Chain A
Amino acid sequence: MTQWEVVIGLETHAQLSTQSKIFSGASVAFGAEANTQACAVDLGLPGVLPVPNRAAVERAIRFGLAVGAHIAPVSIFARKNYFYPDLPKGYQISQMELPIVQGGALRILTKAGEKIIHLTRAHLEEDAGKSLHEDFHGLSGIDLNRAGTPLLEIVTEPEMRSSEEAVAYARALHALVRWIEICDGNMQEGSFRCDANVSVRPVGQKEFGTRCEIKNLNSFRFLERAIEFEIKRQIELIEDGGTVVQETRLYDPDRDETRSMRSKEDAHDYRYFPDPDLPPLVVSEAWIAEVASAMPELPSARQQRYQEALGLSEYDAGLLTASREAGDFFERVREAATGVDAKLCANWINGELSAALNREDLDFSASKVGASQLAQLLMRLSDGTVSGKIAKELFEIMWSEGGEVDALIESRGLRQISDTGALEAVLKALIEKHPAQVEEYRGGKEKVFGFFVGQAMKATQGKANPAQLNSLLKTLLAGD
């Protein structure tokens, strides 16, 4: 049987987080009453003209810098001509031949390891409005609030080889655009949506197979499901003697399948040409430098710093830089937790805290244990005031009930017992109580050591200092 190789390229529309539209002064806030956020320019009234929004251009530059792309000193806005009721001017202003961001790359992590996905380009364009087909008794309504919303369309090379890689890329891109604060990443509201170009070819074949473009993928899960379905469809089609037709397909999440929207034959001739209303977009070196100077530390730089300067493992550093929020949380904990080892901070954020966040589907900004609370806890853990076990209990208490670490330790009497005399008394009593186990230990059955530790912890309600307990117990058991 033929072995198939999957080839995937993604096109992502990221809505840029500007106050106003890309070519007009109207607001871009989501959820307003229909057609209340569309000015004369957005409505395409006779005589109106587009004027580029500097903030949108600046965000495109920021993206280009973040992916190491070439920022074109001159790029061109073009008109993509087609008729549709939610496209007021009868053309969409986009960039065709000379996009503002050219090239660049993004690093992704999959189970198989690290991979670099190269970008073809990223270009600025305006969004269309929305057609509303319900609630109008057989007629259609048009809401032009979204018309003219600034988008950055980010296009990859066909370098992904599985749905897993495609999702990993989409997640990495999603994290990046939020990291550099050019897009809020809200997929439900359509601020970040992907189209996937999928084809298959026999392993070893150089030429690409015929591709299909799948639209309407507004969640990572749909992206994965749609690609999986499409791969299966194409392979089955070819193996049954058919051929894949180049077409645009729509993913239907309810039926978990893709279906044909339009074939290449029905494809529009968009009659692209440079928009005569807009002079070439000029981006000076000075502007790029200005944007670069205001850039936050990028994930890759931050990860490298965590590994090299703080000695974190690649895994921990990777987790902490998977999102801006995680990294920023870590930074705040580090800053507040004086004298606490960075690795301990990382372990707790990637361990207890992440688990709690995942359990309740929260992100870092909504964490019920704040950075300063966690820092206090870690300080008490590392100075020996509480044991690791107690620290975990305290974390759970703070998570569900809130409260300050020191106050909780006091009010609940959770201070660790580091008094040798007190511990010794507890241990001596245990040894007396369990002579058989003592004999076993002395006879070489060292596992019994754990039994005594457990009993000691039970007797001290977990407050015994584990290191002291261990050394003291060893001495006493060896004793007599």
Chain B
Amino acid sequence: MSISELLNKDLTEISGALVRREVSAMDLAQGYLDRIDAVQANLNAFITLDHELTRKEAAMADALRAKEPTSPLAGIPIAQKDIFCAEGWLTTAGSRMLENFVAPYDAHVVEQLKKQGFVTLGRANMDEFAMGSSNENSYFGAVKNPWDLTRVPGGSSGGSAAAVAAGLAPAATGTDTGGSIRQPAAWCGISGIKPTYGRVSRYGMIAYASSLDQAGMFARTARDLALLMDVIAGHDPRDATSVDRQDAPCVSVLGQDIKGLRVGVPQQWFGAGLSAGVSAVVQASIQELSKLGCEIVEIDFTMSEQAIPAYYVIAPAEASSNLSRFDGVRFGHRAEQYKDLTELYERSRGEGFGPEVKRRILMGSYVLSHGYYDAYYLQAQRVRRLIANDFERAFERCDVIAGPVAPTTAFPLGSFGADPVQMYLADLYTIPVNLAGLPALSIPAGFDAGMPVGLQLIGPWWQEARLLNMAHAYQQHTDWHTKRPEPLSGAAS
């Protein structure tokens, strides 16, 4: 197999080549960097590329590979969402505010991957501070969808998804606060998982909405996701919301029979609002699960419509506070001229944050302010509890919930420029999962008018392995996950 062919393979196959010593970490890193360089101007999947740093990490991985026993993952290149602090790397969170911020420490996720010998190809583009569903909110420019460069890749982890879909990396990290892994995975035709809240430490992950943020992964297959989950999951005493559990590794569960598992299908998610094309693809994939022996049951979500309003109270409220530390005093952007402290704050923050971030800080400050707190914040927390109850009731009747990830396929760039609320509404199938803290994933399920469609699988708390096993079974019988966009101009094929 030529190196160029190998670069198109999934993580498991690349790992095999590394273990068999058919290729070095350095060869792989260089191969992907060449590809990235060729398409970066078109795709804009990365914010920071630093070949020297990447080669340094590749050399370290090769050194690790020389020792016994070697991690089968040592030398696997990945794209790192630019929200995870990584020592020595610019960590911008897609914001002018952190344009020059070099992280002095490693996030938990980065640390776990480093230990195994993963190699960072670059820092993937994202919506500023993970606020957005299209990756158009990045200070460093929009990312394009590899399936159609006139369309968005989804967001906020758009760079990560686009990089994997375009064959620029076999895997990428992401974060999901309201759908930021699942939706771009669906729109770019790859697999992506958002674990249970508390499964993966948030230490070193720049916070958007702390009670909703969760780190996860992108890859080509469910098997690859299982491998990656087993690397990044686990208790971390540096995150008080990280949970100490001893679950079996996800990989160990793959291959178990899914016959007899009950798949719940929420009726409310297939009504008006879901495009006919996406609906058809998702229904067909649910039929496929039925053919594999799953029992399909209808379930009811009474609180579904309240999820988006509740999310747009809670997430901005937390964000307004989380982003207060970006004040121009200790790090990040500082205005060049100011006459006093207030102006230092106003100008630094006014210049450093983009419009969507400012909008959410304003919303969040408003709902937390005196006299509005009860009506907005507390009410939203009650709704959140009811949504979790909805899921809990549903999981009495089923083992996994299946449905769409987004109501449409990827939309053209600039579609919602003037109307952010319309874009907010498109997250109606992903947001409830974050509010309840559940694990969920998106896998390729087909195409609508040439654009990929994802199938969302949602599990009870801590049941990532069940989801990955079902997704793996699905991928054993379908080939949607093997479909690739046409190589971009300049990319080696």
Contact = CB atoms under 8 A, between A and B. Distances in A.
Given A49-B239, A279-B241, A83 B321 contact: no
Interface string A135-152: 000000010000000000
Interface in A26-51: 40, 43-51
A90 B368 contact: no
B101 interface: yes
B370 A269 contact: yes
What is the predominant secondary structure among interface residues of chain A facing chain B?
loop
A384 interface: no
Contacts of B239: 49, 51
A78 to B, nearest CB: 10
A279 B240 contact: yes
Given A91-B324, A271-B369, A45 B331 contact: yes
Given A49-B240, A269-B369, A88 B330 contact: yes
A277 B241 contact: yes
A90 B207 CA distance: 14
B153 to A, nearest CB: 24
A85 B334 CA distance: 13
A41 to B, nearest CB: 9
A81 B368 CA distance: 10
Nearest to B83: A47
B206 A46 contact: yes
B205 interface: yes
Contacts of A276: 209-211, 241, 318
Given A49-B238, A277-B210, A277-B240, A90 B202 contact: no
Contacts of A52: 240
Contacts of A277: 207, 210, 240-241
Interface of A: 40, 43-52, 79, 81, 83, 85, 88-91, 142, 269, 271-273, 276-279
A278 B240 contact: yes
A47 B210 contact: no
Interface in B186-215: 202-207, 209-211
A51 B202 CA distance: 12
Contacts of B207: 46-47, 277
Nearest to A86: B329
Interface stretch (B71-79, B102-110, B352-360, B463-471): B102-110
Nearest to B242: A49
B365 interface: yes
B411 to A, nearest CB: 31
Interface in B342-374: 345, 365, 368-370, 373
A271 B365 contact: yes
B210 A45 contact: no
Given A271-B369, A276-B210, A277-B210, A46 B325 contact: yes
A265 to B, nearest CB: 13
Given A47-B207, A271-B368, A271-B369, A85 B341 contact: yes
B324 A90 contact: yes
B210 A46 contact: no
A279 B437 CA distance: 14
B210 A51 contact: no
A276 to B, nearest CB: 4
Nearest to A52: B240
A421 B341 CA distance: 90
A47 B204 contact: yes
Contacts of A47: 84-85, 103, 107, 202-207
Nearest to A277: B210
Contact of A46 (B91, B211, B368): B91
Nearest to B368: A271
B93 interface: yes
Instruction: Give the secondary structure class of B's interface.
Output: loop
Nearest to B236: A49
Interface string B307-343: 0000000000110110111110111000000000100
Contacts of A89: 324-325
B377 interface: yes
B325 A90 contact: yes
Given A49-B240, A276-B209, 15 more contacts: A46-B91, A46-B98, A46-B101, A46-B331, A47-B202, A48-B204, A49-B239, A83-B324, A88-B330, A90-B321, A269-B369, A269-B370, A271-B368, A273-B373, A279-B240
Given A51-B240, A273-B373, A273-B377, A46 B324 contact: no
B255 interface: no
Contact of B203 (A49, A79, A269): A49
B237 interface: yes
Between A46, A51, A269, A278, the greatest number of chain B beta carbons within 10 A of the residue's beta carbon is seen for: A46
Contacts of A278: 240-241
B368 A273 contact: yes
Contacts of B202: 47, 49
A226 to B, nearest CB: 27
Contacts of B329: 85, 88, 142
Contacts of B324: 81, 83, 89-91
Interface in B273-287: none
Lowest 3 CB-CB distances: which A-B pairs, in order?
Answer: A90-B324, A276-B211, A276-B210
B330 A44 contact: yes
A79 B321 contact: yes
B264 to A, nearest CB: 29
Nearest to A84: B341
B325 A88 contact: yes
Which of B84, B211, B345, B368 has the most CB atoms of chain A within a 10 A radius of its CB? B368
Contacts of B98: 46
Nearest to B204: A47
A381 B11 CA distance: 90
Contacts of B368: 81, 271-273
Contacts of A269: 369-370
Contacts of A40: 104-105
A49 B198 CA distance: 13
Contacts of A279: 240-241
Nearest to B371: A269
B105 A50 contact: no
A130 to B, nearest CB: 14
A273 B345 CA distance: 22
B327 A45 contact: no
A46 B85 contact: yes
A85 B104 CA distance: 21
Nearest to B198: A279
A272 B377 CA distance: 11
Contacts of A43: 330
A75 to B, nearest CB: 14
B393 to A, nearest CB: 24
Contacts of B369: 269, 271
24 contacts: A40-B105, A45-B104, A45-B331, A46-B91, A46-B93, A46-B206, A46-B207, A47-B107, A47-B202, A47-B206, A49-B238, A50-B240, A81-B368, A85-B329, A89-B325, A90-B321, A91-B324, A269-B370, A272-B368, A272-B373, A276-B211, A276-B318, A277-B210, A278-B241
Contacts of B203: 47-49
A47 B213 CA distance: 12
Nearest to B381: A274
A420 to B, nearest CB: 79
A32 B357 CA distance: 38
A69 to B, nearest CB: 25
Nearest to A271: B368
A380 to B, nearest CB: 59
Contacts of A272: 368, 373
Contacts of A51: 237-240
B27 to A, nearest CB: 32
Contacts of A46: 85, 91, 93, 98, 101, 103, 206-207, 325-326, 331
